[in-house]
Structure 1
Amino acid sequence: MTKPLSKIGSITFATIVLAFSLLLILHKPLPPGFCEKSTIDRVILHLFEPILRAFYYYPSKYLFTSAENQIWWTRLSLNSLSKTMGPINVFDRHSVLVKDAVWNGVNVRTYEPRLLKNATGGAVVFIHGGGFAIGSVEMYTGLTRRMAKEMNTFVVSIDYRLSPETVFPENLFDCEKAVDYLFQNGAEEFGIDPKKVVIIGDSAGGNLATVIAQRRLEKKAEPKLAAQVLLYPLLQMVDLQMVSYRYFHKRLDGFAFVDPRSVAFYYMLYAGIPLEKAKELVPAVITNGHIKPEHRDRIDKILSHRSFIESTHLYNLSKVPDRWEIQESLEAQDLLDPIIFNPYFSPLMRENLENLPKSLIVTCEFDTLRDEGMIYAERLKTAGVPTKLINLKNGFHAMLNMHNEITEASFCLTDVMSWILEQF
């Protein structure tokens, strides 16, 4: 005769049944090609994405309807979920020395390898993503700690102020002040060769990283950055109907990935548009209704590589919708026209890209921002800048945050670190 389950056993069994039931209810099939390089990766993502949707996406969309509450919940939920990712390594504290500091009034976190004491003599400056409104050095500490440990290199992560509390260009200036401090004091305080500084940023952090590179070149600042690494960067706000944006609307809408509406909303907050007004203008902006007609020829010239991308990156022959009708908004045009062509705000709009530092750009096939990263890489090459583009055929936005969980993300991070070491 089978013995009945104990009370603890019954609770455990009920919890497992409930968890699997919720996953089945929330399950949405991922598109072909998405994380298909590894079956394990795809299974992990099938488990993780519904959790992200349940704890972040649905509450922010349906429960916290005001723009202010959406920002609050998104920060709280993503910061909390990030702490559950990655193994806890009790030995890391013996291999990497982590300190919080203030550089030129800006909060930073430094990572110094203990065992080989900065074998490269260089430094990596990391600027985190999050649409200028989310994220922190704490959320990215697993990634930056791993970089310091595996490269045996000094790493500094910048905790710049976020939008909407702080808006352009102050967020940018925070990052620039921290970079200036490193160049001014790095040799004396950390034994760093100032000619071996690489700047790296992901998503909105990629925007800030390359704008700093552009500004240092413009100011003829010395020493020069050794290289820039841009991970699925957010680079423009003039065309939200590129093919990667339109594919998201067709096949990935409703998943908890970076979507065109979020790009438009957070970019407007960075521009200083008030919260509720930004939310109101999103429908017009995602159709390019914020662009004055007289600017369209200029945009077509700068983004001329769009047609090549659209003809060669076919999403496993999945039909992508044609460009939809523009919903013009004179209000959006008046508010955004003074800023969206500013290269400090939209670095892809800079016409002359010559003499920028050697560049590595990582894009992901299933990422809303894929096309602008590819266009920037092509334009850098055309300008004579040594540039390497890695397009992760099975990748998605922010996947390197899952470098411990997704094998392709881990391999990509290894490739990024190898490329950086080559620059040293």
Structure 2
Amino acid sequence: MSEPAIPKVGWRGELVPSIKKFLDAHPRLQLGGVEGYTFERRHHTQVFGIHSLPDDRIHPIKEVEYTAICGPHGTIPIRVLYPSSGQEKRLQGKAGALIYFHGGGYTVGSVDEFENGLRLVAEESGCQVYAVEYRRAPEFQFPTQLDEYSAVIDWLQGKEGKRRGVDPNRVCGGGDSAGGNMTAGVTLRRLDEGKKPLAAQMLLYPEARLPFDTPAATENNSGYYLECNGIFSFADHYLPRGTPPAHRYVSPGMQPARDLKGQPPTTVFTSGFDPLRDVGVEYAHKLSEAGVDVHWHHYKNLTHGCGMV
């Protein structure tokens, strides 16, 4: 059963000194800041891209495969991380797989910036990681990204997953921030469509809904990497005219608990110094009310994007 005591809002402690030092050293590193998304795209790649890291900071991995599939909107590049720790199950056809959609307000970010952390996830879990270079907004808007997510799930649950040693019943989805939002959205959509579900979903500080009426939006409005007021622009980039922000697949966190039933096991991570903190906590609370097997982990001293900074 679900853990019983998930609150509706979170809290914060004391900001980790190393994160404060990093943010102070990179004052222009913001998400949703005044520089605009084109600057943020370039700057994030320069700071976080795996090609920019010294060799001694790159996590080892058994194998990296660069591949692509033909999706509903064109070619979808996918970077596959095969861990040494999962080799035996891969050979047995019993490997687990995590499809990962990165964050960045639907607009910023690339697999290059997330590969290093995902290498660690792969080796620590023994699970293959499929990092997807999905089409970003504003050039491509909702539901393009969910179409691509679902296409990758179908691909991995089929013969191409089997060819890579993946058990079709062990395909999970995950993502951070906007990637967490899209993971929650595609999980609900596949449930509604009667498609084979994900085995589990992993939501890292997800944008479960717009956060502006929460304590976290006031406490963490500015200065902690994700600029809360910049989320308006990300929502505008992502949503085509005529699609309300309350749409079930856009704002899963706005749905009543009764409409969230039947989802796969879910893990939700939240951070104290994050304007999205309380919408993530709220979503975990609603999932618990809906009877979903949900596990919530709160890191009161960390920021949004803590896995990167």
Give the TM interval when normalised to the shorter protein.
Answer: 0.7 to 0.9
How many residues were matched structurally?
286
Alpha carbons of structure 1 residues 56 and 364: separation in structure 2 relative to 1, 3 Å: closer
Give the Cα–Cα distance (whole angstroms) in 2 for the partners of residues 386 and 86 of structure 1.
38
Give the Cα–Cα distance (whole angstroms) in 1 for the partners of residues 268 and 19 of structure 2.
24
Alpha carbons of structure 1 residues 348 and 96: separation in structure 2 relative to 1, 3 Å: same
Residue 96 (structure 1) shift: 2.0
Partner of 2:262: 355
Contact in 2 for aligned 1:232/1:373 (Cα 8 Å): yes
Q: Which runs of 4+ in 1 moved over 3 A?
A: 55-58, 83-87, 89-93
Residue 138 (structure 1) shift: 0.7
Partner of 1:301: none
Listed as ranges, the gaps of 5+ residues in structure 1 are: 1-31, 36-40, 65-69, 273-334, 403-424
Partner of 1:414: none
User: Which runs of structure 2 are paired with 1:90-239 in the superposition (5 Å)?
Assistant: 95-104=61-70, 105-114=75-84, 116-117=86-87, 119=89, 121-222=95-196, 224-237=197-210
Alpha carbons of structure 1 residues 118 and 88: separation in structure 2 relative to 1, 3 Å: farther
Contact in 1 for aligned 2:103/2:175 (Cα 8 Å): yes
Richer in strand (by share): 2
Equivalent in 237, 246, 255 of residue 341 of structure 1: 246
Alpha carbons of structure 1 residues 184 and 217: separation in structure 2 relative to 1, 3 Å: same
| SS of residue matched to 1:368 | coil
| SS of residue matched to 1:193 | strand
Kindly name which structure, 1 or 2, has the bigger radius of gyration based on alpha carbons: 1
Task: State the Cα deviation string for residues 29-48 of structure 1 (Å, max 9, x = none).
Answer: xxx8333xxxxx41x22321
User: Which runs of structure 2 are paired with 1:235-384 in the superposition (5 Å)?
Assistant: 235-237=208-210, 240-249=212-221, 253=222, 255-272=223-240, 338-351=243-256, 352-384=259-291
Task: State the Cα deviation string for residues 264-322 of structure 1 (Å, max 9, x = none).
Answer: 111111013xxxxxxxxxxxxxxxxxxxxxxxxxxxxxxxxxxxxxxxxxxxxxxxxxx
**Root-mean-square deviation (CA), in Å?**
2.3
Contact in 1 for aligned 2:269/2:297 (Cα 8 Å): yes
Give the Cα–Cα distance (whole angstroms) in 2 for the partners of residues 212 and 168 of structure 1.
11
Contact in 1 for aligned 2:271/2:298 (Cα 8 Å): yes
Contact in 2 for aligned 1:118/1:152 (Cα 8 Å): no
Q: Percent identity?
A: 26
Contact in 2 for aligned 1:96/1:148 (Cα 8 Å): no
Superposition TM-score, scaled by structure 2 size = 0.85
Superposition TM-score, scaled by structure 1 size = 0.63
Residue 88 (structure 1) shift: 2.5
| SS of residue matched to 1:141 | helix
Richer in helix (by share): 1
Listed as ranges, the gaps of 5+ residues in structure 2 are: 1-11
| SS of residue matched to 2:22 | helix
Residue 381 (structure 1) shift: 0.7
- Report 1 or 2 for greater relative contact order, CA contacts < 8 Å, sequence distance ≥ 6: 2
Task: State the Cα deviation string for residues 103-159 of structure 1 (Å, max 9, x = none).
Answer: 233111101124651536211111100000001111100011111222222110111
User: Which runs of structure 2 are paired with 1:403-418 in the superposition (5 Å)?
Assistant: none
Contact in 2 for aligned 1:341/1:349 (Cα 8 Å): yes
Residue 395 (structure 1) shift: 1.5
